[in-house]
């Protein structure tokens, strides 16, 4: 076990950001995300970057967008309430095609809620929180090492597609510590911004004439209306939609002979993994789809699997969010049910095993 370290989820996120070349962080402290900024406040200056605490989350996302146009990879981290404050400018990042990363460590409920309890209640906010039709990529993670990897991927996808990329974590994973061997330099791919002076995204102050606006615009950056505005919207949304097949990321387990399917993501996947192993050991024909990217949503694989299973279960720490997408993608091929938990605790492997066994007893009658 060489190079093993005991690392917290939030620390893995901060270190993943530095690994990916992030050199600007702006944020406002909020449980359970604060350790990300704490780590970067200490470490960012050592690599010549800037970490700044601003007056609120609106200023934070604004500074991140500005830094990105200054030619620097930039990130902010927050939780649900702060994420809401950032929504307007996430739209601005989308229409100005600004690469940036927004981390949301989800906590319980609207408003202050239970700030130290986990939830997966911001799934729809991540996709639809900002206004208007817009492109967005939403990643998630279940393991401390995976937090690191997904943070690096978030920066890469932000650069490649020039979109805001959202990384959805949760209180338990953010605060969880595990023994990990984190990637060394060169182990993971890091996508660099090309040609800052001319290229597709020149930086402010680097010599190119730049016009960046939230208004509908053409390739010169000046305002347009009508068909040209429609073209802009279709193009920025199409960046993600047209590359959907390349972007979707999930792992399938025991799918070949599965009669029952569980679709899960984030911290809940940890309980599902334990449950699926137990159920399989007991001879239950269960399969599992573990989603790593929530948007774009993996419609096609879910539709295909739905056509040969009897039932689909979606466990989530909310009252029913991603289950709606699964239901839509399954398109009636298999019934989709939801196992939600909203008391601030995780769904346990026992709960899943019990639910599946009861369900199978009913379906097989």
The footprint of another protein (CB under 8 A) covers: 1, 4, 6, 31, 112, 114-116, 172, 175-179, 270-271, 273-274, 277, 346, 348-350
Number of Cβ atoms within 10 Å of the Cβ of 321: 21
We find the least distance from the C-beta atom of residue 114 to another protein, in angstroms, to be 7
Locate 353 and state its tokens: 């095993």
We find the least distance from the C-beta atom of residue 356 to another protein, in angstroms, to be 15
What is the spatial distance between Cα 153 and Cα 264, in angstroms, rounded to a whole number? 20
Of the pair 329, 346, the CB lying nearest another protein is at 346
Locate 362 and state its tokens: 């009913």
Residue 17 phi, psi dihedral angles, 5° rounding: -65, -45
We find the least distance from the C-beta atom of residue 1 to another protein, in angstroms, to be 5
Residue 337 phi, psi dihedral angles, 5° rounding: -120, 165
We find the least distance from the C-beta atom of residue 344 to another protein, in angstroms, to be 9
We find the least distance from the C-beta atom of residue 179 to another protein, in angstroms, to be 4
Would you say 141 and 173 are in contact if contact means Cβ atoms under 8 Å apart? yes
We find the least distance from the C-beta atom of residue 265 to another protein, in angstroms, to be 15
Residue 117 phi, psi dihedral angles, 5° rounding: -120, 145
Of the pair 28, 108, the CB lying nearest another protein is at 108
Of the pair 61, 173, the CB lying nearest another protein is at 173
Of the pair 174, 334, the CB lying nearest another protein is at 174
What is the spatial distance between Cα 204 and Cα 201, in angstroms, rounded to a whole number? 10
Of the pair 32, 135, the CB lying nearest another protein is at 32
Residue 129 is inside which H or E element, if any?
none
What is the spatial distance between Cα 87 and Cα 57, in angstroms, rounded to a whole number? 10
Number of Cβ atoms within 10 Å of the Cβ of 158: 27
**Residue ranges of the alpha helices (H) in 96-248?**
123-128, 144-161, 171-175, 226-241, 244-247
Of the pair 116, 307, the CB lying nearest another protein is at 116
We find the least distance from the C-beta atom of residue 173 to another protein, in angstroms, to be 8
What is the spatial distance between Cα 83 and Cα 74, in angstroms, rounded to a whole number? 16
Number of Cβ atoms within 10 Å of the Cβ of 107: 26
Of the pair 177, 244, the CB lying nearest another protein is at 177
What is the spatial distance between Cα 164 and Cα 129, in angstroms, rounded to a whole number? 12
We find the least distance from the C-beta atom of residue 31 to another protein, in angstroms, to be 8
C-alpha to C-alpha distances, 142 to 149, 156, 289, 364, nearest whole angstrom: 11, 19, 13, 32
Q: Tell me the DSSP string of 4-53.
A: -EEEEHHHHHHHHHHHTT--EEEE---TTTHHHHHHHHHHGGGGT-EEEE
Of the pair 6, 47, the CB lying nearest another protein is at 6
We find the least distance from the C-beta atom of residue 301 to another protein, in angstroms, to be 23
We find the least distance from the C-beta atom of residue 181 to another protein, in angstroms, to be 11
What is the spatial distance between Cα 152 and Cα 147, in angstroms, rounded to a whole number? 9
Of the pair 66, 344, the CB lying nearest another protein is at 344
Residue 107 phi, psi dihedral angles, 5° rounding: -130, 175
Of the pair 21, 349, the CB lying nearest another protein is at 349
């Amino acid at each position: 076990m060489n190079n093993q370290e005991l690392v917290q989820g939030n620390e893995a996120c901060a270190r993943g950001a530095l690994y990916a070349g992030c050199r600007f962080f702006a944020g406002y402290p909020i449980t359970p995300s604060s350790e990300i900024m704490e780590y970067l406040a200490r470490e960012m200056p050592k690599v010549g970057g800037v970490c700044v605490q601003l007056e609120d989350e609106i200023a934070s996302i604004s500074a991140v967008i500005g830094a990105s146009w200054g030619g620097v990879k930039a990130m902010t981290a927050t939780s649900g309430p702060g994420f809401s404050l950032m929504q307007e400018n996430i739209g601005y990042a989308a229409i100005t095609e600004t690469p940036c990363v927004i981390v949301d460590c989800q906590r319980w409920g609207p408003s202050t809620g239970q700030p130290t309890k986990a939830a997966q209640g911001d799934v729809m906010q991540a996709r639809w929180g900002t206004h208007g039709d817009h492109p967005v990529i939403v990643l998630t993670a279940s393991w401390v090492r995976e937090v690191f990897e997904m943070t690096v991927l978030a920066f890469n996808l932000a650069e490649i597609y020039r979109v805001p990329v959202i990384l959805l974590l949760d209180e338990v994973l953010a605060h969880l510590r595990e023994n990990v061997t984190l990637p060394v330099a060169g182990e993971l791919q890091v996508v660099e911004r090309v040609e800052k002076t001319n290229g597709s995204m020149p930086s402010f102050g680097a010599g190119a004439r730049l016009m960046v606006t939230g208004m509908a615009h053409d390739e010169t950056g000046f305002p347009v209306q009508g068909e040209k505005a429609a073209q802009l919207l279709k193009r920025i949304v199409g960046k993600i939609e047209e590359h959907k097949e390349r972007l979707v990321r999930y792992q399938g387990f025991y799918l070949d002979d599965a009669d029952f399917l569980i679709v899960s993501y984030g911290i809940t996947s940890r309980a599902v993994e334990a449950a699926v192993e137990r159920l399989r050991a007991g001879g239950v024909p269960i399969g599992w789809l573990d989603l790593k990217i929530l948007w774009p949503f993996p419609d096609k694989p879910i539709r295909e699997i739905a056509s040969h299973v009897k039932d689909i279960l979606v466990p989530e720490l909310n009252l029913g969010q991603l289950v709606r997408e699964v239901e839509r993608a399954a398109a009636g091929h298999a019934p989709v049910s939801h196992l939600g938990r909203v008391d601030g605790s995780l769904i346990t492997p026992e709960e899943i095993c019990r639910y599946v066994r009861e369900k199978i007893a009913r379906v097989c009658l």
